[in-house]
């Protein structure tokens, strides 16, 4: 059982728990979305929303919950005590409140639009930064450093301008409110002096009220300062909800009928990316135990067919049958159990070579992993790496060449040991 750190507040633990649960929920829903929906957004956008934006929830809530609550409760407690001491002095202290509230409320004129512009500009900057770093090899190879850097600088300038415009719009109301709100003596001193001169207010009570008045407005100002944090949390929740609002792949939990064999048949299959149809009534039969090559010009839909068969998308019209059963009536787990798919991207995780291959079948022994690598012709180059199978591949497999990444991806698919293996551009990086 994890020990609770003595210096961590309960609110901090609750905020971290909320962040963790929200992040887990976001990732679980994201994995259920069709690949096309996921690819509509850039990787930088997902990183910004799911990692950075959700992570900021923990920091915001950890301070927002205890500090805002403490300031509001503290101010109300002092106000009640003031009215107990002398209700007339309590009312006199509130004279400046309406004016202070008006000043603070003026901050909200166009607040949402400016805040949203700032958020959008920040996301654009994040996307541009990820694009610039990811494409640095191409940028240098084609001498586009100045152009690409100018694009990044432009995005950074736009983000800064939006932020400054947002802050400038809040400046007057915030400063005026912070000046007026603490000026409780503007009401207390004249009223108190008048009551004291008429003998209806003692000197002790007058002094006590003056001291207590300083404990009302400052906590309220602090509470008002969390307005931006509340707006930030609301925006983050809205952004994550937007990402997760895509229609997920409707698959049953259990299959009414299992496939009779591992044959595939496409019947009048049509598929479109947004409004552009790329498959126009495809009919295709793939018998079990055979090797088939789908050949055609670039952009003809070969990868799309491979992804549809692998259940990364669902067909718009027509049907795809696995062993005589429409794959849309099968649970995703049943499809992935029968199919291994190697994409053109050949993505590797920042893990060792052996762990990347082992992702094909959890629990596979080292001997089984090495056997799969030998069958795919990558054992020799792996043994030639600095630490052999324990060599870390780097982020996205960046420490390896394209051909090495592709062969490791194929070994991972072979280790899965499924009756159906789909290789998308299997030799593109191996030549």
Query: How many structural domains comprise the chain?
Result: 2
Q: Which two tokens stand for residue 31?
A: 């994995």
Q: Bridge-partner residues for 277, per DSSP?
A: 272
Give the residue, 276 or 142, on which the prediction is more confident: 276
Burial class (CB in 10 A: 0-12, 13-18, 19+), 121: buried
pLDDT of residue 13: 54
The answer to whether residues 122 and 210 belong to one domain is yes
pLDDT of residue 412: 92
Report pLDDT digits (tens) over 283-309: 999 999 899 888 888 888 888 888 888
Strand, coil or helix: 88: helix
Determine the average pLDDT of the residues in 43-58.
68
The answer to whether residues 192 and 121 belong to one domain is yes
* Helix 145-180 / helix 203-224 crossing angle, nearest 10 deg: 160
Decide if pLDDT at 358 tops 90: yes
pLDDT of residue 5: 44
Q: By mean pLDDT, which of 84-93, 314-323, 386-395, 421-430 is the weakest? A: 421-430
Asked whether residue 248 is assigned to any structural domain, the reply reads no
Give the residue, 110 or 260, on which the prediction is more confident: 260
The answer to whether residues 228 and 164 belong to one domain is yes
pLDDT of residue 7: 43
Asked whether residue 431 is assigned to any structural domain, the reply reads no
Question: How far is the C-alpha of 238 from the C-alpha of 123, rounded, in Å?
Answer: 14
The answer to whether residues 213 and 357 belong to one domain is no
At 106, is the pLDDT very low, low, confident or very high (cuts 50, 70, 90)? confident
b/e map 336-359, b = 16+ CB within 10 Å: eebbbbbbeebebeeebbbbbbbe
Question: How far is the C-alpha of 305 from the C-alpha of 282, rounded, in Å?
Answer: 9
The answer to whether residues 88 and 14 belong to one domain is yes
The answer to whether residues 74 and 182 belong to one domain is yes
Report strand pairing: 420-423 vs 339-342.
parallel
Using alpha carbons, select from 382, 363, 375 the residue that is nearest to residue 410.
Answer: 375
Determine the average pLDDT of the residues in 63-77.
81
The answer to whether residues 185 and 324 belong to one domain is no
pLDDT of residue 42: 65
Determine the average pLDDT of the residues in 85-95.
83
Decide if pLDDT at 396 tops 70: no
Decide if pLDDT at 405 tops 80: yes
The DSSP annotation for 344-369 comes to SS----SSBHHHHHHTTSTT--HHHH
Using alpha carbons, select from 31, 240, 24 the residue that is nearest to residue 123.
Answer: 240
Percent of the chain past pLDDT 90, that is, above it, reads 8
pLDDT of residue 247: 65
Question: How far is the C-alpha of 215 from the C-alpha of 221, rounded, in Å?
Answer: 11
Asked whether residue 254 is assigned to any structural domain, the reply reads no
Asked whether residue 395 is assigned to any structural domain, the reply reads yes
Q: The domain that contains 119 carries what CATH number?
A: 1.20.1560.10
The answer to whether residues 176 and 215 belong to one domain is yes
> Do 213 and 185 form a contact (C-beta atoms < 8 A)?
yes
pLDDT of residue 354: 92
Strand, coil or helix: 228: helix
The answer to whether residues 294 and 407 belong to one domain is yes
Q: The domain that contains 277 carries what CATH number?
A: 3.40.50.300
The answer to whether residues 26 and 170 belong to one domain is yes
Give the residue, 181 or 369, on which the prediction is more confident: 369
DSSP state of 125: H
Asked whether residue 375 is assigned to any structural domain, the reply reads yes
Under the phi-then-psi rule, with left for phi > 0, alpha for psi from -120 to 50, and beta for the rest, what region is 149?
A: alpha
At 48, is the pLDDT very low, low, confident or very high (cuts 50, 70, 90)? low
Report pLDDT digits (tens) over 200-210: 888 888 888 88
Backbone angles phi, psi at 231, to 5 degrees: -65, -35
Q: Which two tokens stand for residue 214?
A: 């300083």
pLDDT of residue 268: 92
Asked whether residue 206 is assigned to any structural domain, the reply reads yes
pLDDT of residue 159: 85
The answer to whether residues 174 and 283 belong to one domain is no
pLDDT of residue 285: 92
The answer to whether residues 98 and 234 belong to one domain is yes
Decide if pLDDT at 428 tops 70: no
Report pLDDT digits (tens) over 201-258: 888 888 888 888 877 777 877 777 777 777 777 777 777 777 666 666 777 888 888 8
Q: How far apart are the first and last CA of the chain?
A: 52
Asked whether residue 251 is assigned to any structural domain, the reply reads no
> Do 273 and 279 form a contact (C-beta atoms < 8 A)?
no
pLDDT of residue 390: 92
Give the range of the structural domain holding residue 80, as residue numbers without chain letter.
Answer: 10-243
The DSSP annotation for 175-225 comes to HHHHHHTT-THHHHHHHHHHHHHTTSS-HHHHHHHHHHHHHHHHHHHHHHT
Asked whether residue 253 is assigned to any structural domain, the reply reads no
Q: Bridge-partner residues for 282, per DSSP?
A: 269
Question: How far is the C-alpha of 293 from the C-alpha of 312, rounded, in Å?
Answer: 20
Answer with the one of 243, 272, 289 that is the final residue of a domain. 243
Q: By mean pLDDT, which of 51-65, 100-114, 178-192, 378-392 is the weakest? A: 51-65
pLDDT of residue 370: 92
DSSP state of 263: -
Question: How far is the C-alpha of 376 from the C-alpha of 413, rounded, in Å?
Answer: 10
Answer with the one of 211, 243, 275 that is the final residue of a domain. 243
The DSSP annotation for 48-85 comes to IIIIIIHHHHHHHHHHIIIIIHHHHHHHHHHHHHHHHH
Strand, coil or helix: 41: coil
What's the mean per-residue pLDDT of the chain?
79
> Do 410 and 397 form a contact (C-beta atoms < 8 A)?
no
Question: How far is the C-alpha of 248 from the C-alpha of 32, rounded, in Å?
Answer: 6
What proportions of the chain, in percent to the nearest 5, are helix, strand and coil? 65, 10, 30
Q: Which helix (H) or strand (E) holds 330?
A: none
pLDDT of residue 154: 86
Decide if pLDDT at 169 tops 60: yes
Q: Using the structure block, give the residue that is written with the tokens 């009401």.
A: 187
At 1, is the pLDDT very low, low, confident or very high (cuts 50, 70, 90)? very low
Answer with the one of 197, 214, 243 that is the final residue of a domain. 243
Decide if pLDDT at 4 tops 50: no
pLDDT of residue 153: 84
Percent of the chain past pLDDT 70, that is, above it, reads 82
- Which pTM does this prediction carry? 0.59
Using alpha carbons, select from 23, 28, 31, 25 the residue that is nearest to residue 50.
Answer: 23
Determine the average pLDDT of the residues in 22-27.
67
Give the residue, 40 or 302, on which the prediction is more confident: 302
């Amino acid at each position: 059982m994890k020990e609770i750190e003595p210096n961590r507040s309960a609110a901090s633990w609750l905020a971290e728990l909320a962040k963790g649960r929200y992040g887990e929920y976001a990732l679980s829903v994201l994995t259920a979305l069709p690949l096309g929906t996921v690819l509509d957004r850039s990787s930088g956008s997902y990183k910004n929303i799911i990692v950075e934006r959700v992570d900021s929830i923990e920091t915001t809530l950890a301070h927002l919950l205890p500090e805002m609550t403490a300031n509001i409760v503290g101010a109300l407690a002092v106000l009640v005590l003031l009215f107990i001491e002398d209700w007339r002095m309590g009312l006199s202290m509130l004279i400046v409140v309406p004016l202070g509230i008006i000043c603070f409320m003026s901050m909200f004129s166009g607040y949402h639009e400016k805040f949203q512009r700032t958020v959008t500009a920040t996301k654009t900057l994040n996307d541009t930064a990820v694009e610039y770093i990811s494409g640095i090899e191409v940028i240098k190879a084609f001498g586009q450093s100045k152009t690409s850097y100018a694009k990044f600088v432009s995005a950074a300038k736009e983000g800064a301008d939006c932020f400054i415009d947002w802050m400038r719009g809040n400046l007057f109301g915030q400063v005026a409110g912070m000046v007026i709100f603490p000026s409780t003596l503007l009401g207390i001193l004249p009223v108190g002096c008048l009551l004291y001169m008429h003998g209806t207010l003692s000197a002790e009570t007058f002094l006590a009220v003056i001291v207590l008045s300083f404990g009302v407005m400052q906590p309220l100002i602090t509470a008002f300062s969390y307005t931006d944090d509340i707006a930030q949390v609301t925006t983050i929740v809205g952004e994550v909800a937007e990402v997760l609002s895509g229609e997920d792949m409707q698959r049953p939990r259990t299959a009414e009928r299992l496939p009779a064999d591992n044959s595939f048949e496409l019947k009048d299959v049509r598929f479109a990316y947004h409004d552009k149809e790329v498959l126009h009534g495809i009919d295709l039969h793939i018998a079990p135990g055979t090797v088939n090559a789908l050949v055609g010009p670039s952009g003809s839909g070969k990868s799309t067919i491979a992804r549809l068969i692998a259940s990364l998308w669902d067909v718009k019209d027509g049907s795809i049958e696995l062993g005589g059963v429409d794959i849309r009536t099968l649970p995703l787990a049943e499809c992935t159990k029968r199919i291994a798919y190697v994409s053109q991207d050949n993505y590797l995780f920042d893990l060792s070579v052996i762990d990347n291959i082992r992702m094909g079948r959890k629990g596979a022994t080292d001997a089984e992993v090495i056997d799969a690598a030998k069958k795919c012709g990558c054992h020799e180059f792996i043994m030639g790496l600095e630490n052999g199978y324990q060599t870390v591949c780097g982020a996205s497999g960046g420490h390896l060449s394209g051909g090495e990444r592709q062969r490791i991806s194929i070994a991972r698919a072979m280790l899965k040991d499924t009756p159906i293996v789909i290789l998308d551009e299997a030799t593109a990086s191996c030549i």
